[in-house]
Each structure stands twice: as structure tokens, then as C-alpha cells.
Amino acid sequence: MKKLLLTITFICSTIIGFAQNNTQYPEGLKVGDVAPNFLVKDQNGIQIDLKKILKKQEVVLVFYRGQWCPYCNQQLKKISDSLSLITAKGATVMAITPETG
């Protein structure tokens, strides 16, 4: 019985390891990278077109994982504290989150 459990554990570990090694994730944006154009709806259901906004002003794009993330909350607070400096430079801040409410 012990041998069977060890064999099953080994097989499962091998399969999981193989699956993880073959998984390819897209590389994320880095500081200074140009974001691809996108169309999204804001919290009020209004369509946002990044390309149109960029014609008028610079955009500081922030990815906010959610309310549950203490690091994201700290980052958003720091950006909020600097909002007047950002807007004085002619830019706007856009926070993108998977949260809906």
C-alpha cells in the first residue's frame, strides 16, 4: 500500500511538474513600456478608448489586483497622494482591475 501511494505521488508530481514547465505565460508590461491599445468599459459603463485618450494627454496606467491586495492598496494610495502632481504634468491616471464592484 505504501509503495502504491509513493508511486501515485511520484506520477502526480511528474505530471504537475511537466505541465508547469510547458505553460507559457505572456510577458507583462514593464515601466516605460507602451501599452497596447484597448477598448474597455469603465465603472459607469462608458466605453474608454486608450488611443483617443492618448491623443489628448499622457496616461499613467495602473493595474490594481483588487481590494483584497494590501500592496495594491498601498500603491493606489501613493498614486492618489501624488494625483495633483500627475495631473499638473498633463497626465491622467487609469486603474485597471478585474473587480466589478
pLDDT at 4: 47
Three-state secondary-structure class, residue 101:
coil
Burial code (b: 16+ CB inside 10 Å, e: under 16) for 74-100 equals ebbeeeeeeeeeeeeeeeeebeeeeee
Are the C-beta atoms of 84 and 71 separated by less than 8 Å?
no
pLDDT at 31: 81
pTM score: 0.63
- How far apart CA 96 and CA 50 sit, in angstroms, is 12
pLDDT at 21: 55
End-to-end CA distance of the chain: 50
Would you name the residues annotated as active-site residues?
A: 72
pLDDT in tens, the chain (101 residues): 455 454 455 554 555 555 555 567 677 778 888 888 888 888 888 998 989 999 999 988 888 888 889 999 999 899 999 999 999 999 988 888 888 76
